[in-house]
Amino acid sequence: MKSCMVQGAKIVSTGSAIPSVKVSNEQMSSIVDTSDEWIFTRTGIKERRLLTAYGQSVTDLATKAALKAIKNISIDPSSIDLIILATSSPNDLFGSASKIQYQVGAVNAVAFDLTAACSGFVIGIVTAFQFISNGTYDNILVIGADVLSKWVDWSDRGTCILFGDAAGAVIIQSCNPNFNSILSFHLNTDGNYADYLSIAYKEQLNPHPILNLYQGSFKHISMNGKEVYKFAVSQVPLSIISCLNKIDMSIEDVDWLLLHQANERILMAVAEKLSISTHKIISNLSKYGNTSAASIPLALDEVVQLNKISRNDIIVIAGFGAGLTWGTIVLRW
């Protein structure tokens, strides 16, 4: 990371929101041909939360998470300069962030959506960091929120058992560069494998009779599970190591490993490759499944509320998913 930092950045607050409806693996087995044993041994997931209420969308969950983060440090919403909503399940393709800006009363904030699937929150934090470190903004709300239950094919047992709905939010504030807490980041994309995990736009077979153009709609999540697994387990450790190398840190310096909560087997395989002790792994996916862009801020908020993280702890955060995209951030708490 080239250093041209005018100000440092630090996460000063977290918040999260989950839907009230819990769906266990046993309940999943009444929807598709599966079992608690199959799901738990392959993924570590026991249950997930689903946003089932009519008319509720990602905006509602994201707003709740954002309001909690705002309340936790009693910041005046009008002092928020920017809102970044990382989501791949907006309820408006023109963007959902502006509705959140209105609902949280952040009247002076510019707001936009960022689409990068399960890496969205990590890329959102890095984007916010750019605006803070170059001196443009002082208070940024970054939200990771997804309701993939609306995009899952509920007859596809290979994917529907994996995902859940949630939102998580953080407030990042400017600080003296000496107290900067975002120490390093490393981001990657490989579009060659975009088809491994996608919600593709499918055109209808017949074009418009006069204009001869094709319209269509978005279909369901499709995934090549084995390839996504191999990608995560091979690329995430490399990303983490290069991110640590940039700041002359090693795995021994790391206090917490917070990976995108996709699958317990992926978490364990990455930890094994890095030779990092399993008690340093933050994991809550047994309760929520894969909540996409929400998974990292949801887990972060949980450990912060439980006072598990101490001041100056080094946290390695890594996201990975559709795109394919992946990225790491090293934080000093």
| Residues of the shown chain interacting with ligand COA in the complex, contacts defined by CB under 6 A | 34, 38-39, 42-43, 118, 157-158, 161, 223, 225-226, 228-229, 262-263, 266, 290, 321
Residues near 143 by beta carbon (within 8 Å), at least 6 away in sequence: 62, 65, 66, 83, 84, 85, 86, 87, 97, 100, 124, 167, 168, 169, 297
Q: Residue 153's CB: how many other CB atoms inside 10 A?
A: 14
Q: How far apart are CA 84 and CA 110, in angstroms?
A: 9
Question: Annotated catalytic residue: which of 160, 186, 260, 263?
Answer: 260
Q: Is the Cβ of residue 41 or residue 52 nearer to ligand COA in the bound state?
A: 41
Question: Annotated catalytic residue: which of 118, 160, 243, 263?
Answer: 118
State which residue has the least CB distance to ligand COA. 225
CA distances from 123 to 13, 108, 189, 319, 327 (A): 18, 23, 11, 9, 7
We find the least distance from the C-beta atom of residue 219 to ligand COA, in angstroms, to be 17
118 is an active site residue = yes
Q: Is the Cβ of residue 162 or residue 172 nearer to ligand COA in the bound state?
A: 162
Question: Annotated catalytic residue: which of 72, 139, 180, 290?
Answer: 290
Which among 100, 110, 121, 2 has a CA at the least distance from the CA of 57?
Answer: 100
160 is an active site residue = no
212 is an active site residue = no
Q: How far apart are CA 27 and CA 289, in angstroms?
A: 14
We find the least distance from the C-beta atom of residue 15 to ligand COA, in angstroms, to be 23
We find the least distance from the C-beta atom of residue 321 to ligand COA, in angstroms, to be 3
Q: Is the Cβ of residue 2 or residue 226 nearer to ligand COA in the bound state?
A: 226
10 Å CB burial of residue 277 (0-12, 13-18, 19+) is exposed
We find the least distance from the C-beta atom of residue 298 to ligand COA, in angstroms, to be 14
Q: Is the Cβ of residue 41 or residue 215 nearer to ligand COA in the bound state?
A: 41
Residues annotated as catalytic are 118, 260, 290
